[in-house]
Structure formats: structure tokens, C-alpha cells
Amino acid sequence: MGVELEYGEVSAVDYQGCRIRVRLDDRDGVQSYWLNVPQRNTQGTQRRPIMPELNEQVAVLLDTDGVGGVYLGGIYSTVEPPPVIDEGTDYVRFKDGTVITYDQVASVMSLDCVGATLLKCAQNLTVESGEPVVVKAPSAVLDIPQVTLNGDLQVNGNIGATGSIIDVGGNSNHHTH
């Protein structure tokens, strides 16, 4: 029994079973049987299955009788070309518009999230930068019981405070002139 390379569009996705069905172009749109989608790391290290999306253009390898087969991967076309063709850039655009990009030539990683972003860890978090760090937001809240600042502090604007302001040099909000 031989195998044939065929093309089509994903017509059904079984996330639990990691399988798809494909409308086959060369067989007048006939739908394939369920085809396995190969995955990385299915034993010790495991990942969320990477599955093609409905209507995605794909290549499949089918037995000549069309019963058995396997999904090979999605394919771009002239109608739907790759979003980025720079070989030095890794790029992911999600359906909601969020984009993750890594430019290997410039060594720049970018995350452009259309929603919220949460960075959470159970241990220490260290942020180091060889250049100045800029944070832009309409406002910010630091919910931290103790903050230690090593270095000078420059404030361009007003300072509002509740509680005491204590200066270890003896000045405080309780002194008189």
C-alpha cells in the first residue's frame, strides 16, 4: 500500500484526541478520516497540543485508500502569504491581534498584547538592564510593604504623602521654623 501527498483545508478539529479532518482538494472536497497531528513532548515534558485551525490550508500524507494518514503541517499560499519573511525574525500573531516578535539581528524582543499581561512568580524576580528603563502608564500602584531605594531620587512634579516623612538626619514633618 502506498502513500500520497495531498492538500486541503481543516474541516474539523479534535483537541482532546489531537486529530483533524481535512477537506481534500484532489478528491473534490471529500472529507478525510480523522488524521493524527504529530506533537512535540508527549511523555515526560508535555505541552499544550499545537493544533491547526479550522479552514487552515494543510498538507497531509494519506494511504492510497484514503483511510489512514497523518497531518504534515500548515502551508502558506499566494492568497495567504507568511506574515513575516525575514529569516532573522521569529514572529507569532494570535487571533486576537497579540503579537510576539524576536529580531535576532537587533537582539530585540517585543510583546504587543491587546489585553492584560500578568507576570507572576513564587520566588525572587530580578529585572536587570544595561540601559535606562522606561515605564509608561497613566498611573501605577506599588503594593509593597517595604521599598528600599539605593541612589538618588528625582521627582519632576508634586509629592503627596499620608503618614510621617522621617529623615534620619533629624528633619521631619514635625519641625518648626
Residues in the chain: 177
∠139-143-149 over CA atoms, to 5°?
90
User: Could you state, in order of their start, the residue ranges of all structural domains in the chain?
Assistant: 3-74, 82-118
Question: 3-74, what's its fold?
Answer: OB fold (Dihydrolipoamide Acetyltransferase, E2P) (2.40.50)
Amino acid at 175: H
Q: Using 50, 70 and 90 to split pLDDT, how confident is the model at 28?
A: confident
Q: Is 2 or 1 the better-scoring residue by pLDDT?
A: 2
Q: pTM for this structure?
A: 0.67
Q: Give the E-state strand segments of the chain in sequence order.
A: 3-14, 19-24, 30-31, 35-36, 57-63, 69-74, 89-93, 99-103, 108-112
Q: What is the pLDDT of residues 95-111, one digit of tens each?
A: 899 999 999 999 999 99
Residue with cell 487552515: 56
